[in-house]
Amino acid sequence: MSKQDGRSRQVNTTPVDDTGATILHVDMDAFFASVELLSRPELRGTPVIVGGGIGPRSVVSAANYEARRYGVNSAMPMSLALRRCPNATVLPGSYDLYSKYSKQVLAIFEDATPLVEPLSIDEAFLDVAGARRVHGSPSEIAQMIRRRVEAETGLTCSVGVAGTKYVAKVASSRAKPDGMLVVPVAETQAFLRPLSVGALWGVGPTTEESLRRLGLATVGDVADTPYDVLRSTLGEALAAKLHSLANGIDPRSVSTQREEKSIGREVTFSYDVTDEAEIRRAMLHQADDAAARLRAAGLVARTVVLKLRYTDFSTVTKSRTLAEPTDVGRRIYEEATAAWHALGAAGKRIRLIGVRVEQLGESGSGLSLWDPDEDWRDAETTIDEVAARFGKGSIRPAALLRPKKQS
């Protein structure tokens, strides 16, 4: 049995049948902000935002739950966040510290089972089917992990327990903050059906609008819709994905294979460049290219790296880690531009520029259910479809078109 409060938080209140619910999704609660508060306990209970300052280009990396109640979310412009929550405390990010705690939490997961699939710095899937004899039932293992994480780090996490990765991730999001929700395999569809169609991976504002035009408002509505109807509206790939998820079908297993790789391109200019507009065009082109390759491979990236080589052949790089992984060119471009400013490269003579993305993961598994880039993703996916039909370069952002010279 579970209970649901006014904020849609849903947790178990009595034991439930967890037979077959051997997939755990563990998600740290407001991880960046929570780590910062370990050394700033006086700020507990007050709104806290983590981000790179309060300048015009600053964005929110993370926000604690007190700040989120004001409508502050990750990837939001800092100026907007402070308008919504003017009494928030803004703290700079400490990625080395986050990495330290992430490794500590990961070690706790690996003590429970060797089948751990990290999705990002603050979440992972676990397959605990083989851990029963040592640690008990899936729900007992989930509770053990929650206790150890809090006792050993001072942080809290939320855990979803289910028969598939997708349902486990939805369950952990419903249990936030600091909760656990077990979805018995036999109750998978009963759990999913009342949820808004926005809870389905791959459904953003544009797709949701298309579904609602068909009269589909809930996951159950999608599950009951003939596949051919979905295909005629959404296309083959997305229709197949959503129809399966809506019916509780997700065949993906927990994978421990994490191949460290990156996607990106470099360009050496035919002459040293100082013009910011030309540099921005190069970054935008490279960001859009990286994003298109991510989407084609079904991947998302957590880190954006900018590489510059100056006229004296000295080379510098600057990386920026995103609060949420992305496959959106506009997001990659904005982070690359922020890195360019952080390097103080304005006005310098540049002979080579490169944008690449790292910390790659499976598309969908690392994305939050609320996605601030969904509109851009929908637009860029449309460009992918046009390019597939008419050829690469048949449609492109206006910013990539060079202005005509005045005669």
Higher pLDDT, 13 or 406: 13
pLDDT in tens, 167-200: 999 999 999 999 999 999 999 999 999 999 989 9
Degrees to nearest 5, angle at CA 81 with 76 and 85:
155
Q: How far apart are CA 54 and CA 51, in angstroms?
A: 8
Q: How far apart are CA 211 and CA 221, in angstroms?
A: 9
Question: Torsions phi, psi of 136, nearest 5?
Answer: 100, -160
State residue 88's pLDDT score: 95
Q: How far apart are CA 379 and CA 327, in angstroms?
A: 12
Q: How far apart are CA 15 and CA 320, in angstroms?
A: 43
Residue 85 has pLDDT above 70, yes or no: yes
* Of the listed ranges 3-7, 24-28, 369-373, the one predicted with least confidence: 3-7
- Contact yes or no for 53/90 (Cβ under 8 A): yes
54-63, 142-151, 201-210, 231-240: which is most confident: 142-151
State residue 404's pLDDT score: 47
State residue 33's pLDDT score: 94
123 has catalytic annotation: yes
122 labeled part of a ligand binding site:
yes
Q: Which two tokens stand for residue 76?
A: 């939001």
DSSP string, 292-361: HHHHHHTEEEEEEEEEEEETTS-EEEEEEEEEEEE--HHHHHHHHHHHHHHTT-TTS-EEEEEEEEEEEE
- Contact yes or no for 161/18 (Cβ under 8 A): yes
Question: Torsions phi, psi of 305, nearest 5?
Answer: -120, 125
The length of the chain is 407
111 labeled part of a ligand binding site:
no
263-400: CATH superfamily = DNA polymerase, Y-family, little finger domain (3.30.1490.100)
- Contact yes or no for 373/328 (Cβ under 8 A): yes
Residue 380 has pLDDT above 80, yes or no: no
Residue 266 neighbours by CB under 8 Å, 6+ apart? 286, 307, 352, 353, 354
Residue 55 neighbours by CB under 8 Å, 6+ apart? 78
pLDDT in tens, 218-237: 999 999 999 898 888 888 88
Q: What confidence tier does 382 reach under pLDDT thresholds 50, 70, 90? A: low
State residue 21's pLDDT score: 94
Q: List C-alpha distances in Å: 360 to 109, 119, 262, 293, 370.
A: 20, 9, 7, 12, 20
Q: Which amino acid makes up residue 40?
A: R
Average model confidence (pLDDT) across the chain: 85
10-192: CATH superfamily = Reverse transcriptase/Diguanylate cyclase domain (3.30.70.270)
Give me the residue label for tokens 């294979």: 257
pLDDT in tens, 384-406: 555 555 444 544 555 444 554 44
Q: Which fold has domain 194-246?
A: DNA polymerase; domain 1 (1.10.150)
DSSP string, 98-109: HHHHHHHHHHHH
Average pLDDT of the segment spanning 278-297:
89
Average pLDDT of the segment spanning 251-278:
82
Q: Given 123, 335, 362, 374, which residue is catalytic?
A: 123
Average pLDDT of the segment spanning 137-149:
96
State residue 54's pLDDT score: 61
Query: Torsion angle of alpha carbons 29, 30, 31, 36, nearest 10°?
Result: -130
3-state secondary structure at position 28 = strand
Q: How far apart are CA 185 and CA 163, in angstroms?
A: 6
Q: How far apart are CA 72 and CA 122, in angstroms?
A: 19
Closest to 325 in 3D by CA, of 263, 266, 271, 398 = 263
* Of the listed ranges 233-242, 338-347, 370-379, the one predicted with least confidence: 370-379
Taking the domains of the chain in order of start, what are their residue ranges?
A: 10-192, 194-246, 263-400
Average pLDDT of the segment spanning 315-332:
87
